Chains A and B, each alone.
Chain A
């Protein structure tokens, strides 16, 4: 038995932990077993129903591929890609080692990403993903928008105010907030400006690489990451702050040596913060004064990329602390929150390749939010925002979708 070349960055861990062998298809990955209500957790499985769409089925297929019992085909590819890679399945796995480590919990998502890469290397990929990979290659964003219009939102955000030439940090905006959810970029920049923070925005920011890493199109990641690192270093800043969960995961997690950094030849020493971390720090230091009342009942959606995907570095409490600090805001929790939050449905390349699946998953989340009686569903990820808003509109739900920074802006 030999692992494909695309597994090289995780091969030693897989061998040491006997993954995927240890998966015995028990199906514990399908429901939140710590809950007395046993809620479903897997969007892919709940959507498609058939076995290969749950983690256990994917592990079975992975095992078949690794052992050479099956070969890549269009049929085999599908279950691996019709999945948001939200990781809620792995979160449930209770295969334990005697030292307390949880090998499938730790390795399932890296394995699924490596499998996707292997599919691409064998000539099997999805057209939608190829299209956005090409757009990133040509125009540095997956939306095929003009690169020169990337910072078009900035004027609305800060008017004619000049950005710092010697910034303390770079606001890494990300493609979705730059081109689609400009409301988030605008609110974030306004908050930073209002707080008197010394920041800048890159003139020549490229996609962070998240869509490429998730969909197996790794070839471009190294070049765009190196470009972004160089651009950031040219500003003199040692810190980047992002309002995007996807960008945050790439910068703080994927581009580290122990994840993809080494295998892709990327190295950086930048300090990476999500905007909620920066703001909580300011709140703790008494430098963020939220004075204006915002009377609204909200529930908070944990994005996978700053939630369970980060393991013990997940940002669960920071956004909640900020919400609770806004006068007038009443925070109510959905049943599935924090590490077991139901995915928004957009991630893993699903929004572009499987739009119906993305909407269905988002609708499930909207319904859960409605059950809390909340008037507003708040999150901290432009991509979650997009899909949750689309989903709310699709079912005519009376709930407003907002980014946390938009609420912060109102409260300043």
Chain B
């Protein structure tokens, strides 16, 4: 290894700049102050800013390889980036280096109608994918998230995102058949069926089931995915959407689980009363607590069918379970009439389009949540425990009550639950520190109840590691060392 000419963070490095420019062309590399600034901070969360030294936009896998080889040789951190919308600052360059903005790699490479998948480059956004499929294959359904349209499709899948088909088929990682990725040393690897066949239709190519797991959930610390094959589904012609309200979270989560087990639901997501208000545009702090009749948990239940008769049969089942469980169903189109004029929920039909009011709704444009995969049976118990943390830090009393969101998936086998704190870009350092402390304690409570935190910034990643089986941790560290011997990939994240 020769001596590195890279000086970490803060100093212009013309030699590295020129080499990057030689790879991607000078138009697609930047060390401009304006560009570095916008790629260095998260802009949403209470996480600390980083410092990018270069932002590079490759167009091909070969360019990614060349950049990574350069970075590996020079020991320069590389941070893969599409939209930076993880709400966990996962693409914040915490130790400087190259931010690899993947958005020029946004092509649809193949749509295989027979084997039902779409092969895309990894910088493609939800807007790109949905627009393409709607235009060229309107009979097909691509799983989408409530995240904003600028969100990276593949990045979201890699980070266990949630989709509007997740109740039926599992979290977003389940929709991935196969990847192509560039390893931190510059080699290309293919996983799934693409590893040993020209087809991208399956996640396994015996005996490699786990290779796909070299990238899922690793927050870009094991390599850079450049292509991915995502499952597609037929767009069923009949659909019903309900609000399912419950007076307590205990009742609401129980009905969710009952509905999940029927195997007929595409999607169940929920907000607690407070987050629902924020989505409807209400400003924090609230002047009043839970109003009389306001459900503690309001779920969105969505299902589709091939025929009207099938839809009616499913509808009957959903109504019966909800009624027995003590919940209340309202058709979506009816339900939105009671929302205020500015509510965002009306725009759900334009999926993917969620988030801005989720966070701007607090009117300060800043928020962070702690979320993770909890045993679905523990959701209500965790909610009550977390509620006490909000009380302890004085949020409830100050009109900032518990903000919760959940999504039950894979017929009830898995589920995400998140707890959010809204802040403001004008918050003082002391207030920001209070938010951080409260979030950390929420994370600790969730871990104590068996939750595995996801999209976790470093502190929360450490909480995961603290309770992880040492033998498993040893394997994880060994894998990381083998794949990324110089620790160049997104250093400072996951923090093994």
Asked if A98 and B344 make an inter-chain contact with CB atoms under 8 angstroms apart, the answer reads no
Any chain B CB within 8 A of the CB of A24? yes
- Of B210-218, B347-355, B400-408, which binds chain A? B347-355
Asked if B135 and A49 make an inter-chain contact with CB atoms under 8 angstroms apart, the answer reads no
CB B428 to nearest CB in A, in angstroms, measures 11
Asked if B365 and A27 make an inter-chain contact with CB atoms under 8 angstroms apart, the answer reads no
- Select from chain B the residue with minimum beta-carbon distance to A75: B33
Determine the distance from Cα of A64 to Cα of B101 in the docked complex, in whole angstroms. Answer: 21
Any chain A CB within 8 A of the CB of B64? no
Scoring B150, B342, B360 by chain A CB atoms within 10 A of each residue's CB, the highest score goes to B360
- Select from chain A the residue with minimum beta-carbon distance to B353: A33
Contacts of A100 in B (CB 8 A): 340-342
Any chain B CB within 8 A of the CB of A57? yes
- Select from chain A the residue with minimum beta-carbon distance to B81: A51
Other-chain contact of B44, A24, A31, A49 (Cβ < 8 Å): A24
Any chain A CB within 8 A of the CB of B332? no
Determine the distance from Cα of A63 to Cα of B359 in the docked complex, in whole angstroms. Answer: 17
Asked if B364 and A21 make an inter-chain contact with CB atoms under 8 angstroms apart, the answer reads yes
Asked if B425 and A61 make an inter-chain contact with CB atoms under 8 angstroms apart, the answer reads no
Q: Which of B245-286 contact A (CB under 8 A)?
A: 280-283
Any chain B CB within 8 A of the CB of A18? yes
Q: A28-B150, A37-B134 are in contact. Are A95 and B357 (CB under 8 A)?
A: yes
Any chain A CB within 8 A of the CB of B55? yes
Contacts of B424 in A (CB 8 A): 18, 21
Asked if A78 and B32 make an inter-chain contact with CB atoms under 8 angstroms apart, the answer reads yes
Contacts of B444 in A (CB 8 A): none
Q: A31-B150, A33-B353, A98-B281 are in contact. Are A24 and B34 (CB under 8 A)?
A: no
Asked if B360 and A22 make an inter-chain contact with CB atoms under 8 angstroms apart, the answer reads yes
The number of residue pairs between A and B whose CB atoms lie closer than 8 Å in the complex comes to: 158
Any chain A CB within 8 A of the CB of B195? no
Asked if A33 and B365 make an inter-chain contact with CB atoms under 8 angstroms apart, the answer reads no
- Select from chain B the residue with minimum beta-carbon distance to A38: B131
Contacts of A33 in B (CB 8 A): 127, 149, 347, 350, 353
Asked if B38 and A60 make an inter-chain contact with CB atoms under 8 angstroms apart, the answer reads yes
Other-chain contact of A25, B44, B341, B343, B426 (Cβ < 8 Å): B44
Any chain A CB within 8 A of the CB of B57? yes
Asked if A38 and B43 make an inter-chain contact with CB atoms under 8 angstroms apart, the answer reads no
Q: A39-B131, A49-B57, A98-B281 are in contact. Are A28 and B365 (CB under 8 A)?
A: no
Determine the distance from Cα of A102 to Cα of B341 in the docked complex, in whole angstroms. Answer: 11
Q: Which of B413-451 contact A (CB under 8 A)?
A: 424-426
Interface of chain A, main secondary structure: loop
Any chain A CB within 8 A of the CB of B103? yes
Determine the distance from Cα of A61 to Cα of B344 in the docked complex, in whole angstroms. Answer: 26
Determine the distance from Cα of A98 to Cα of B101 in the docked complex, in whole angstroms. Answer: 36
CB A96 to nearest CB in B, in angstroms, measures 3
Contacts of A95 in B (CB 8 A): 356-357, 360
Any chain A CB within 8 A of the CB of B128? yes
Contacts of A25 in B (CB 8 A): 43-44, 84-85
Contacts of A122 in B (CB 8 A): none
Asked if A1 and B342 make an inter-chain contact with CB atoms under 8 angstroms apart, the answer reads no
CB B250 to nearest CB in A, in angstroms, measures 29
Q: Which of B313-367 contact A (CB under 8 A)?
A: 340-344, 347, 350, 353, 355-357, 359-360, 363-367
Q: A24-B356, A94-B356, A96-B357 are in contact. Are A52 and B34 (CB under 8 A)?
A: yes
Determine the distance from Cα of A291 to Cα of B357 in the docked complex, in whole angstroms. Answer: 52
Determine the distance from Cα of A101 to Cα of B341 in the docked complex, in whole angstroms. Answer: 9
CB B281 to nearest CB in A, in angstroms, measures 4
Other-chain contact of B148, A1, A21, A27, A60 (Cβ < 8 Å): A27
Determine the distance from Cα of A18 to Cα of B356 in the docked complex, in whole angstroms. Answer: 14
Asked if B38 and A27 make an inter-chain contact with CB atoms under 8 angstroms apart, the answer reads no
Determine the distance from Cα of A34 to Cα of B37 in the docked complex, in whole angstroms. Answer: 31
Any chain A CB within 8 A of the CB of B179? no
Contacts of A79 in B (CB 8 A): 34
Contacts of B85 in A (CB 8 A): 25-27
Contacts of B425 in A (CB 8 A): 21, 63, 67
Contacts of A35 in B (CB 8 A): 131
Any chain B CB within 8 A of the CB of A292? no
Any chain B CB within 8 A of the CB of A97? yes
Any chain A CB within 8 A of the CB of B243? no
Any chain B CB within 8 A of the CB of A76? yes
Q: A21-B424, A95-B356 are in contact. Are A52 and B35 (CB under 8 A)?
A: yes
Determine the distance from Cα of A30 to Cα of B365 in the docked complex, in whole angstroms. Answer: 18
Determine the distance from Cα of A79 to Cα of B38 in the docked complex, in whole angstroms. Answer: 11
Asked if B360 and A78 make an inter-chain contact with CB atoms under 8 angstroms apart, the answer reads no
Contacts of A51 in B (CB 8 A): 35, 38-39, 55, 101
- Select from chain A the residue with minimum beta-carbon distance to B367: A24
Scoring A50, A75, A93 by chain B CB atoms within 10 A of each residue's CB, the highest score goes to A50
Residue pairs across A and B with Cβ atoms less than 8 A apart, 24 shown, are A23-B360, A24-B359, A25-B44, A26-B359, A27-B83, A27-B85, A27-B150, A28-B150, A30-B149, A31-B131, A33-B347, A36-B131, A49-B104, A50-B57, A50-B101, A52-B37, A60-B41, A60-B43, A61-B38, A73-B33, A97-B342, A98-B341, A99-B340, A102-B342
User: Closest 9 interchain pairs by CB?
Assistant: A27-B150, A38-B131, A96-B342, A100-B341, A75-B33, A26-B148, A38-B127, A98-B281, A22-B360
A sample of 11 more A-B contacts (CB under 8 A), given A28-B355, A99-B340, is A24-B365, A30-B149, A33-B350, A37-B131, A49-B104, A61-B38, A70-B33, A70-B37, A75-B35, A97-B283, A98-B341
B positions within 8 Å CB-CB of A: 28, 30, 32-35, 37-39, 41, 43-44, 55, 57, 83-85, 101, 103-104, 125, 127-128, 130-131, 134-135, 148-151, 280-283, 340-344, 347, 350, 353, 355-357, 359-360, 363-367, 424-426
